[in-house]
Amino acid sequence: MTTAADDTADEAAFEAFLAGRPVPEEADGGSHAVAAFAGAVRATATLPGRPSAALADLLAAGLLTDQSSPSIRTAPSAGRSLRRSRVRRRRRFAMLFPALLAKFLSAGAVAQAASGAGICLVAFTGAGVAGVLPAPVQDTFSSVVGTGTAGGTTVPADPTGTGTATVTDTVTETGDPVLETPVVVAPTDLTLEDWAKGPAPEQAFGDWVSDGARHGYADGKTISEWAHARNEDRHGGADDSTAPATASGAPEAQDDDSAKESGSRSGSGGHRDGGTSGSDGGSHGGSHGGDNGGSHGRG
């Protein structure tokens, strides 16, 4: 039968062990056993675990923050990102066009005439810039608008971009189309959504993590989910179903704790543990707003 005195003695022995002090002599055998248990617990935790492949990549290569010359392996994902953005633009236009057409048809006659004139003007300007107008018209157009270009570089006449100098920087004197070079990775090409979809098939996991960190998308939860999926792939064979469930690329829904953490994070700010993830979030000790709220004073 454990008494209140035993509880007090056990707590004293426990605290003494944690503080590195000897167990009080007046403690009974049970309190000594409690302290011995604590020592046994520590004895079981002496070796590091086996790091997963993703963690091993991090431990071997770190998070490369300075990548002025992007690696070849990042090029495919960048090219894919460009393609995706073009597809998105096309889809957006496809959605907007019917709405614009309906609005135009429902407008009054004067409005339609004005809009039609505007469209013709824009079309004429575009054709003139492209140099596809008949020769006399083109000459006239060039004499009026041609002052806007110099040496193949477009200089906007109006710094605000709202004036008549609508010539874009893709127009050169040679008329050569602008070639896309998928090897060049612009820092803004990678969106959070793209990054959250995980590493490209031929992309190293570490490179994917580094990309995310460089763009500020690095999210411990997302990375863990993908690492977990990758490990499962390695253990049980490739299976797309093991990929983390994403809502537009985001990791799985957060639990109650996560919601609470995100609330406390917004209260104290400070640490950012992975952007959208709330799993490691929350506020943390003093200047750190990661997981623990408040300070970590010794009690």
Partner 1 sequence: MRTGLPFDDVLAAAQAGAAWAFEVLYRALSPSVTGYLRLHGAAEADDLASETFIGVFTGLSGFSGDEDALRAWVFTIAHRRLIDDWRRRSRRPQVSDDPGDLTELPGGDVEDDALVGVGTETVHRLCAVLPDDQRSVLLLRILADLTVEQVAEAMGRSVGSVKALQRRGLRALRTGLENSSERVGAGAHPYEPLRR
Strands (E), 3-110: none
- Binds partner 1 (CB under 8 A): choice among 76, 156, 220, 249: 220
Rounded to whole angstroms, the Cα distance separating 253 from 244 reads 11
- Binds partner 1 (CB under 8 A): choice among 42, 86, 90, 103: 42
- Which candidate, 87, 97, 71, places its Cα nearest to that of 207? 71
State in angstroms the smallest separation of the CB of 202 from partner 1: 21
User: No. of H helices and E strands in the chain?
Assistant: 10, 2
User: Distance between alpha carbon 130 and the CA centroid of its chain, in Å?
Assistant: 38
Site residues (CB under 8 A) for partner 1, limited to 124-163: none
Report which residue type is found at 60. Answer: A
Rule CB under 8 A: say whether 106 interacts with partner 1: no
Site residues (CB under 8 A) for partner 1, limited to 171-190: none
- Residue 186 burial class via C-beta count within 10 angstroms: exposed 0-12, middle 13-18, buried 19 and up: exposed
Pairing mode of beta strands 153-154, 149-150: antiparallel
- Tokens 């990102």 label which residue? 81
Rule CB under 8 A: say whether 37 interacts with partner 1: yes
State in angstroms the smallest separation of the CB of 184 from partner 1: 23
**Cβ distance to partner 1 smaller for residue 73 or 228:** 228
Site residues (CB under 8 A) for partner 1, limited to 267-296: 270-274, 277, 279-280, 282, 284-296
Site residues (CB under 8 A) for partner 1, limited to 221-260: 221, 223-224, 227-228, 231, 255, 257-258, 260
**Cβ distance to partner 1 smaller for residue 20 or 108:** 20
Rule CB under 8 A: say whether 209 interacts with partner 1: yes
Under rule CB under 8 A, how many of the chain's residues touch partner 1? 81
- How big is the chain, counted in residues? 299
